[in-house]
Structures are given as C-alpha cells and as structure tokens.
Structure 1
Amino acid sequence: MVSPQKSLFTIAGWLLIAESLLIFVPLSVLGSAINWPKSLSDPADKILPLLVEHSSAVRFGYLVYLIYSILFWVIASLTIRVLSNEETDSIWLHVANGFGIASTVARCLGIIRWLVAMPALATLYTDPTISTGTRESIAVVYRALNDYAGSVGEVLGVSLFAGLWLAIVSLRILQTRILPRWLGFLGLISATLLGVQLARLFGVDLGAFISISVSVLQLWFLAMGIVLVAKAAKVERNLSAKY
C-alpha cells in the first residue's frame, strides 16, 4: 500500500535536495564564463563583450538558472502542502503560496533579460561598424535595464517575496511541529538575511553578504529535503510494520 503522505514527503524532499544542488550549475558555468554573480554590477564595456565571447555558456547557464527559479514554485507549493497537514482553509498558507508564485514570476522576469535583451545589446555593442555615440547609448540602455530587471528579480523576487514565503513557512513549522523546530529557526534566520538585502533599494552596497544569505537559503533547502526524505522512509517502515 502506497501512503499519500509518504509520496508527498518523498517528492517534496527530493525536489528540495535537487533545488539546493541545482544552483551550483549556473554558479559554475556562469562563474567561469563571466565571473557571475559578481559581474552583475560590471559596466557595459566589461560585461557585454564577455556575453558575445561566451554566448553558449551564458545561454546554458541562465537556462539552468531559469529552471531553478521555476522549480522554486514547485517546492514552495509542495512545502506548503506538507505543512498544511490536510488543512485547506489556512489564510496564511494561501498567502505564503501567493508569495511563492510572485517570487517565481519576478525571478523569471529578471533572468529573461540575460536570454533575450542582453545578448542583443551585446551583439550591437561589439559591432565594429557602430559609432562611439551609439555604443555609449547602448551602455546607458544596458545599465537601466540591468538595474530595473535586477531589482525585480533579485530584490523583489528573492529578497522580498521568497523571504516572506520562507518566514511564513518557518513560523508554521514552529507552530505545528510537523517538522523539527530547528528547521523553523534556521528558516527564520535565512528569511531575515534575505530581508536585509532589501537595503539595496536604498543604494546600500552589501558586497559578499548577498552570497552568504543565498548560501543559507540553499542550506535550508537541503536540510528540509533530507528531513522529508527521512520522514518518508519512517512512514514506509511504519506501514510495513503495520501490514
């Protein structure tokens, strides 16, 4: 007999583990090609030629990052199902699900610029036949688009919406005790670190702090996934003993 709870724990657990590890693909590919994510703040004359020179790697890296961002919505929804404990009328879980969707949409909007707009700007910028004035105009467009889409994807998508989702989920863990309480505390720490990144909207340079906050979030994904897979195995053992 297959337990629905075991199936939910197993699927959610392995997808959370996959999400925690998948981020290393764009980090490796884009890091090697364009020194990502540090290059997000580089000027046009430095980054645009690199986009042309490493176009295949950039496209592959950002496609994987797009998949990672879409997968976030899946794990966000499954995590909420795990914590709902068959309760369907919890307003806060509905709110958390909304933040999960908003985070995914904002992330994807931010990433799409690197798959469509930025390669087009890079091709124009590196065209030897264009004038210096045109090249300077392209640099201005690049800066404006990068600042805007970056704020949508990284500040709103990750720092705000994902942070709020994680905060609600973590409080739910502490409230229901369906999962170990330390996961709730770790989640609140991660959500707080993500929230601090909102200071970027006010021109605060956080430097390496961004990498730290994202690393803690990935650690939470991994820990949550391992716990759920272990709980699925426990449910299986209990069913085997029962029957």
Structure 2
Amino acid sequence: MRRTTGILFVVAAVSFAVAASVLSATFDWPDILREPAGKVLTEYVEGGSGLTWTWFATAWTYGLLAIPILMLPQAINRPLRVATALGATSVLLSLIGFLRWVFVVPPLARAYADGDPTAAMAWTAQHQFGGALLGEHLGQLLAIAWSVLVSVAILRTRALPRWIGWMGLAASVLYFANQGDILATAFPGFPVWDAAGLLGSTAWGLWTIALGVGLYLERSLSHVE
C-alpha cells in the first residue's frame, strides 16, 4: 500500500505539471485568469478544440490526486480522518474550477464571438464563482489545510522522514501567500505578492512528489531491512 500510494502521488503530480505546462505555453495560464473577459474569451475561441482538450487533461490529471490522498491513511497506518476529508474535498472543488473551462466557458466564448452582449457579464459571474471562489479560494485553502495536517502528523509520529514534514509546512506557507491574489479580485487594493502563485504551487507540487518518493523508499527500505 505504501509503495502504490507513493507511486500515485508522483504520477499525479508529474502528470499535472506536464498538462499545466502545456496550458501555460498555449493559453498563458494562470496569468490570463486576471485578464478582462473580452481578452480571455477571444483567446479561448482562437485556441479551438485543442485548448478545451488541454483543459480537460489538466483537470483530470489534478483529479488523480484524490486517489493517493484517500489511500494515505492506510499507507502510513494513521487515521488522518479530518485531513483526508479536507484533501479530498479540495480536489473536488479544484476539479470543478478546472472543468468549467470544458463545459461552461466554450459556449460563452462562442457567444461572445457572435456578438452576444451578455456573454462577458456571464463569463465574469461564473469565473468569480466557479474559479476564484470554489477552485482557487476554497480549493487551495483546503489543500493547504490537508498538507499542514499531514506534515504535522509526519513530524509527530515519524511515519516518514521529518524533512518531508518540514518541507510540507514551508510549502503550505508559500502556497497560502497566493490567497492575496485571489482576494484582490473581491477586495481591490488587497496586498498581492506576484510571485506567490508560482512559488507556492511549485513548492506544493514538489512536496507532493517528495511525499510520494518518501512513501516508496520507506517501503523499499523496509524490505531490505
């Protein structure tokens, strides 16, 4: 179980990183999230069906993370009930945020291209609700809460090397700093650290890989011993 869980953490994190990199290169994500509705919808239409499939891949590669999150308590033989519930819920909320680009945004983009004057307003409403609120604010906060609880459990029980616990706490702090950018969409003038999104998400992703590698190596070392 430890070995399988570790592999799944690595596969999920690496797969998402690859899909997100393609999305960033083709659609300027995540910077485009803060651009005006007209620019976003126009560029979405220009991206065609290939962009929609890229969003689909990005969504479900992130969704894979729910599997090792649910498996982790059994893998390290710790209950982690609250952490697991928070982690699984965070993936679901983020998945909703990602999949709206597949099921909600395309018809809005086509309507905007056809001259529908209400498309931009509809885009803004769904973007703030499904994106900023559910996917980014709640999804990220619950993911951070999960990583903090897991990291504390690692430090207290030594179920894994302590450096993984400390790394998780540091990554969580960095990732939390990105909330400023999200809150600024609702509270103009809210302090924003521009580098927080890239640094926080990268650090958090690397920590999930480290968590997976730690699980895998602990299992392998136990067989050697």
* TM-score where L is the length of structure 1: 0.83
SS in 2 for 1:140: helix
Counterparts of 1:110-125 in structure 2, within 5 Å, are 110-125=97-112
Q: CA deviation at 1:220?
A: 0.4
SS in 1 for 2:159: coil
1:27·1:37 contact (CA, 8 Å) conserved in 2?
no
Higher deviation after alignment, 108-117 or 171-180: 108-117
Higher RCO (CA-CA < 8 Å; seq separation 6+)? 1
Aligned twin of 1:241: none
Aligned twin of 2:145: 164
Change (3 A) 1:61 1:163: same
Unaligned runs of 5+ in 2: none
Report the identity percentage: 28
- 2:37 and 2:26 mapped to 1: Cα distance? 16
Q: Match of 2:195, as an amino acid?
A: A
From the CA coordinates, give the structure whose radius of gyration is larger: 1
Higher deviation after alignment, 45-54 or 189-198: 189-198
- 2:119 and 2:193 mapped to 1: Cα distance? 27
Q: Match of 2:183, as an amino acid?
A: L
Q: CA deviation at 1:207?
A: 2.1
Does residue 44 of structure 1 match 2:68?
A: no
Q: Which of 177, 191, 205 is equivalent to 1:196?
A: 177
- 1:190 and 1:80 mapped to 2: Cα distance? 21
2:178·2:193 contact (CA, 8 Å) conserved in 1?
yes
Q: Match of 1:153, as an amino acid?
A: G
Unaligned runs of 5+ in 1: 1-7, 239-243
* TM-score where L is the length of structure 2: 0.90
Q: CA deviation at 1:105?
A: 1.6
Per-residue deviation, residues 40-85 of structure 1 (Å, max 9, x unmatched): 11112211122112122222221122212321211212223223x2
Structure 1 stretches of 4+ with a deviation exceeding 6 A read none
How many equivalent residue pairs?
Answer: 218
2:19·2:61 contact (CA, 8 Å) conserved in 1?
no
Aligned twin of 1:26: 19
Aligned twin of 1:234: 221
1:15·1:75 contact (CA, 8 Å) conserved in 2?
yes
SS in 1 for 2:174: helix
Aligned residues: CA RMSD: 1.7
Q: Which of 57, 66, 70 is equivalent to 2:59?
A: 66
